[in-house]
């Protein structure tokens, strides 16, 4: 059996500092998990436009994570006002093209939509972690707002995927019996 290299159980930041559990690593880990969840969703969606949007989001998450990890970077990384405005514009255009919602949606209309719902909830966790980090090490407002708007955009992508797949979304009506779509 080959000798295993000792694992220091730490992760290195840009610049060499090693840590395992701190707020920055929590944010970066959540963004990494979101990128992986987006990959899974991308493999399951049936709509080329949704698939392309998810790939674009994966790329944007790499920019976002790099900007948060190294805010003083000499490289041009991160999320700025233009990227935020582009995301909001896409979200609003998609929302306008879909029927208005009257009730909450119960996730699971079809595999691709369910996978995007998972992305949306991982994104919300990343947003909470980013807010906690912001309280001790300020992030750019565009970074915080981007993560917030991203979860809203993911919700609209869920609805688009369900629509394209011809899947009826199950709705939740408070106080109504089960199966109340």
CB of 53 within 8 A of CB of 86?
no
Establish if 130 belongs to a structural domain. yes
Give the residue, 124 or 100, on which the prediction is more confident. 124
| CATH for 64 | 1.20.1200.10
Give the residue, 7 or 144, on which the prediction is more confident. 144
Span 67-96, average pLDDT? 90
Establish if 83 belongs to a structural domain. yes
Span 95-106, average pLDDT? 90
Q: Is the pLDDT of residue 84 over 80?
A: yes
Establish if 3 belongs to a structural domain. no
Predicted confidence (pLDDT) per residue in 41-68, tens digit: 999 999 999 999 999 999 999 999 999 9
Name the DSSP letter for residue 72. T
Q: Across the strands, what pairs with 104?
A: 172
CA 3 to chain centre: 39
pLDDT the model gives residue 156: 96
Q: Is the pLDDT of residue 82 over 60?
A: yes
Establish if 122 belongs to a structural domain. yes
Establish if 17 belongs to a structural domain. no
Establish if 1 belongs to a structural domain. no
CB of 58 within 8 A of CB of 35?
yes
pLDDT classification of 1: cutoffs 50, 70, 90: very low
Q: Is the pLDDT of residue 3 over 60?
A: no
pLDDT the model gives residue 29: 95
DSSP string, 160-177: HHHHHHTPPPEEE-TTPP
Establish if 88 belongs to a structural domain. yes
Predicted confidence (pLDDT) per residue in 10-46, tens digit: 555 555 555 555 899 999 999 999 999 999 999 999 9
The residue range of the domain holding 124 is: 22-70+78-172
- Classify 105 in phi/psi space as left (phi over 0), alpha (psi -120 to 50) or beta: beta
Establish if 53 belongs to a structural domain. yes
What token pair was written down for 36?
Answer: 């992986």
Predicted confidence (pLDDT) per residue in 121-173, tens digit: 999 999 999 999 999 999 999 999 999 999 999 999 999 999 999 998 888 88
Q: Which residues of 76-110 are buried (b: 16+ CB within 10 A; e: fewer)?
A: ebbbeeebbeebeebbeebbeeeeeeeeebebebb
Domain count, the chain: 1
Give the residue, 95 or 77, on which the prediction is more confident. 95
Distance CA 35, CA 163 (A): 24
């Amino acid at each position: 059996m080959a000798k295993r290299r000792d694992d220091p159980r730490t992760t290195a930041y840009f610049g060499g500092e090693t840590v395992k559990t701190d707020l920055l690593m929590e944010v970066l880990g959540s963004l990494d998990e979101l990128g992986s969840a987006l990959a899974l969703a991308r493999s399951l969606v049936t709509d080329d436009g949704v698939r392309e949007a998810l790939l674009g989001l994966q790329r944007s998450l790499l920019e976002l994570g790099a900007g948060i990890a190294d805010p003083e970077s000499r490289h041009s990384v991160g999320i700025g006002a233009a990227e935020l405005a582009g995301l909001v514009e896409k979200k609003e255009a998609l929302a306008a093209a879909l029927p208005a919602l009257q009730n909450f949606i119960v996730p699971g209309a079809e595999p691709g939509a369910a996978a995007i719902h998972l992305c949306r909830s991982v994104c919300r966790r990343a947003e909470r972690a980013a807010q906690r980090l912001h309280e001790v090490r300020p992030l750019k407002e565009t970074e915080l707002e981007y993560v917030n708007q991203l979860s809203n955009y993911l919700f609209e992508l869920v609805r688009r995927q369900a629509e394209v797949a011809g899947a009826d979304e199950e709705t939740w009506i408070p106080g109504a019996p089960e199966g109340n779509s």
